[in-house]
Structure 1
């Protein structure tokens, strides 16, 4: 609980500091922050300061406690997880974690894989990609995470864009969005569908999903990216 102590001593930037009842709830649900930190660090694939992420997560958790509007129940965990995850995504965007260099490297990586795929007439294996591009397995994984992060970020922003509309119209748009998402999910291959369920519903990270499905972490990243690209195309068509 050192992160909670540091955060409290540093000063609460919200309107008021947590009251004893809120502090107790923060301590009880602090594990959600640790879970989201693990989830996000694996997804984004960048070096981020764990303490900074925990501070952001704890502030988001306090906001979730205050906004929930009733005593925490079995539904609160999912509610708080989404709020904490959203706060961390906003922070990644604010910091612009994709540096110009990383974008250029990702572009060269995509071009190299595309050229190799054209030469082979099929999807290249991980060892073939590493040999052709003269990169390590770890570097290959980092490239996959960078590509995946870009797709995830675009997909998340698409879901968040409701535009300036009346509350009733916004609710209708969200219902239609959920219907279209569910409909599109049914069109995905069974493995892709399961992967998305494990990631978004069961909140597993890429490494945990790889172990569950018996795939490499790199392959899980590719399948996740492909699934989100398909969903994005359907939602924007």
Structure 2
């Protein structure tokens, strides 16, 4: 009895993918673009949180569509990966590239973000615990009020940091290491375990409120304004908590990031 080749469980439209990839069928490509356009809207709404007023959602969406098309053209449906995840970071990447080309984040803001990230990394490695705003402010030689203002300035540079892919050719993200216990790529198992351990340790050093914000934003997929309602805090306060959490986690991951990307 001949057994039919099983279809990848995440691609119910495998016939459309085959027509496009094997025959370069433009109608099939158009069908795929139309089917996955809601991903662009989804990513646009998340990316738009906290962006400056001079950045329009239409501009984000336009760049996102280009990212979606790029994802469809480069996706290998035979590898059994989740297209939605792969496409989402391609879409985000196209949006971020568009923003960078528009120079929407001043160099001074990026430098401030890097300084705070390095401060968290240095102090928390030194004290082996979560450090306070007062300690960070003292290390940076600014007042706590100035530190809060810095967090407000860099807030939009921290969105989606955990959702960046570990390796460009894969759909697996840093965030997935926190929840996925299955080693999909044995060749990278050791490196991924190091990264996972570093993120877990970083999360352990977050304050309770920071952990809640990370959980609601990345796992429950609430917007920052929705999280503000849940936690009875202002959106600006939620944004600050999110920024601090991401900067702490960036510092925790820094030790392993380069070797993972260079592997």
Q: Same fold (TM over 0.5)?
A: yes
Shift of 1:53: 1.8
Q: Are residues 1:183 and 2:190 paired? A: no
1:61–1:84 Cα contact (<8 Å) kept: yes
Q: Report what 1:195 is aligned to.
A: 213
Unaligned runs of 5+ in 1: 1-16, 125-139
Counterpart Cα distance in 1 of 2:164 and 2:60: 24
Q: Report what 1:49 is aligned to.
A: 56
Q: Secondary structure at the match of 1:44?
A: coil
TM-score calculated relative to the size of structure 2: 0.55
Shift of 1:144: 5.5
TM-score calculated relative to the size of structure 1: 0.60
CA shift digits 1:137-194 (9 cap, x unpaired):
xxx8xx86532124559x57998699xxxx9987754442233113322332333223
Q: Are residues 1:21 and 2:28 paired? A: yes
Higher relative contact order (CA 8 A, sep 6+): 1
Aligned length: 191
Counterpart Cα distance in 2 of 1:198 and 1:220: 11
1:42–1:205 Cα contact (<8 Å) kept: yes
Q: Are residues 1:89 and 2:96 paired? A: yes
Shift of 1:117: 4.6
1:46–1:97 Cα contact (<8 Å) kept: no
2:201–2:252 Cα contact (<8 Å) kept: no
Selected match of 1:148 from 130, 136, 155: 155
Q: Give the number of the structure whose residues are more often helix, by fraction.
A: 1
CA shift digits 1:17-67 (9 cap, x unpaired):
982222222222212111211211214334223332222111211222333
Runs of 4+ in 1 over 6 A off after TM superposition: 100-103, 156-162, 167-171
Shift of 1:97: 0.5
Q: Report what 2:39 is aligned to.
A: 32
